[in-house]
């Protein structure tokens, strides 16, 4: 067995990457297949994800669009009560920030709306593979609407009241499963997590062992820590034995909350602020505070007006 400390990583590199690279990097965490990434792997991976309707992966990339349209067209969009879109008026433009999943599903539900068609047509012209099986060519209602994409620098330069809604940021946590059970309750977020259903920890890429998170509750070398360590060692032996005749999804039923897992949490700055208000207080779970307090401090350095 291996014991590691919890940690987090703000995914700045993926913010600067293309949509397809971002989606592959996030999607492969579920299977821990990052070793298969090369310069040609992203597009086939994402096409397959889109084809099979793995929508949780399609949530891991957002675009912010600046749109010039009529008041009637804007009101017609709002009348749809679109889910998971963040919409603001800023000067002469309408700002819309949306994930690829939300755009796909909105088009399937309301593709005859002129503004919906214009947004999706703009995206299809640049990333058609993300809308295969969804885009039907449109009906031309959005031709009088102007759409452009804001780059990351423009989004980071938005006024405070806008940036908190439109700036999304992903963080990869290495932590125990007790922490992730709580994190996923923040429903406005998108999540992708290392899957014990698919990961077989007897494989070479896992060094044929189970990894556990060091518990902050017990001092290393104490009687309690020794008991915890023995329990993990015994569990690992049972798990590896079960894998000889069982699938990973069957063998995982013996694995405890102390198991190491990786999870990507992706949401806007407004939701990160809400998370920190709940998960850094003295009442929060100690293992959660262990990763959230230093993350909140880092976020405050980057966006002091928001945090």
Summarised one tens digit per residue, pLDDT across range 193-203 is 999 999 999 99
DSSP the chain: -EEE--EEEE-HHHHTS-HHHHHHHHHGGGTT-GGG--TTTHHHHHHHHHHTT-HHHHTS-EEEEEEE--HHHHHHHHHT--TT-EEEEETTEEEEEEEHHHHHHHHHHHTTSHHHHHHHHHHHHHHGGGGTTT-----STTTT-EEEEPPHHHHHTS-HHHHHHH-EEEEEEEEEHHHHHHHTT-TTSEEEE--TTT--TTSGGGTTS-EEEPPTTS-TTSHHHHHHHHHHHHHHHHHHHHTTTS-HHHHGGG--TTBEEEEEEEEEHHHHHHHHHHHSSTTS-HHHHHHHHHHHHHHHHH-TTT-
Band of pLDDT at residue 140, cut at 50, 70 and 90: confident
Nearest-angstrom CA–CA distance, 284 and 79: 39
In this predicted model, what pLDDT tens digit does every residue of 95-133 receive, in sequence order?
A: 999 999 999 999 999 999 999 999 999 999 999 999 988
Minimum mean pLDDT range among 45-54, 71-80, 232-241:
45-54
Band of pLDDT at residue 141, cut at 50, 70 and 90: confident
In this predicted model, what pLDDT tens digit does every residue of 29-72 receive, in sequence order?
A: 999 999 999 999 999 999 999 888 889 999 999 999 999 999 99
**Residue % of the chain over a pLDDT of 90:** 93
Q: What is the mean pLDDT of residues 153-178?
A: 96
Identify the pLDDT of residue 132: 86
Band of pLDDT at residue 232, cut at 50, 70 and 90: very high
Nearest-angstrom CA–CA distance, 302 and 130: 31
User: What are the structural domains of the chain?
Assistant: 2-16+167-302 (3.30.1360.170), 61-166 (no CATH)
Identify the pLDDT of residue 221: 95
Identify the pLDDT of residue 50: 86
Nearest-angstrom CA–CA distance, 217 and 202: 28
pLDDT for 152 beyond 90: yes
pLDDT for 149 beyond 90: yes
Nearest-angstrom CA–CA distance, 123 and 130: 8
Band of pLDDT at residue 293, cut at 50, 70 and 90: very high
Q: Which residues are catalytic?
A: 279
């Amino acid at each position: 067995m291996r014991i590691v400390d919890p940690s987090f990583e703000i995914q700045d590199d993926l913010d600067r990457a293309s949509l397809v690279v971002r989606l592959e990097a996030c999607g492969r965490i579920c299977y821990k297949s990052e070793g298969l990434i090369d310069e040609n792997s992203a597009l086939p991976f994402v096409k397959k994800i889109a084809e099979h309707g793995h929508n949780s992966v399609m949530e891991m990339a957002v675009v912010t669009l600046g749109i010039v349209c009529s008041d009637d067209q804007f009101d017609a969009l709002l009348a749809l009560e679109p889910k998971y879109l963040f919409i603001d008026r800023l000067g002469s433009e309408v700002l819309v920030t949306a994930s690829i999943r939300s755009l796909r599903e909105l088009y399937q539900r309301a593709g005859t709306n002129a503004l919906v068609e214009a947004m999706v047509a703009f995206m299809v012209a640049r990333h058609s593979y993300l809308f295969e099986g969804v885009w039907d060519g449109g009906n031309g209602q959005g031709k009088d609407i102007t759409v452009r994409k804001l780059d990351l620098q423009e989004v980071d330069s938005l006024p405070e009241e806008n940036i908190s809604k439109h700036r999304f940021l992903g963080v990869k946590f290495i932590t125990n499963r007790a922490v992730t059970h709580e994190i996923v309750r923040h429903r406005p977020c998108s999540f992708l997590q290392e899957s014990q259903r698919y990961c077989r920890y007897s494989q070479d890429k896992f060094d044929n062992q189970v990894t556990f998170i060091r518990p902050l509750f017990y001092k290393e070398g104490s009687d309690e820590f020794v008991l915890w360590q023995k329990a993990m060692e015994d569990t690992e032996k049972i798990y590896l034995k079960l894998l000889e005749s069982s699938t990973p999804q069957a063998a995982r039923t013996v694995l405890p909350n102390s198991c190491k897992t990786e999870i990507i949490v992706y949401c806007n700055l407004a939701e990160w602020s809400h998370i920190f208000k709940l998960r850094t207080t003295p009442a929060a779970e100690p293992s959660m505070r262990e990763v959230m307090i230093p993350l909140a401090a880092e976020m405050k350095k980057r966006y002091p007006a928001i945090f």
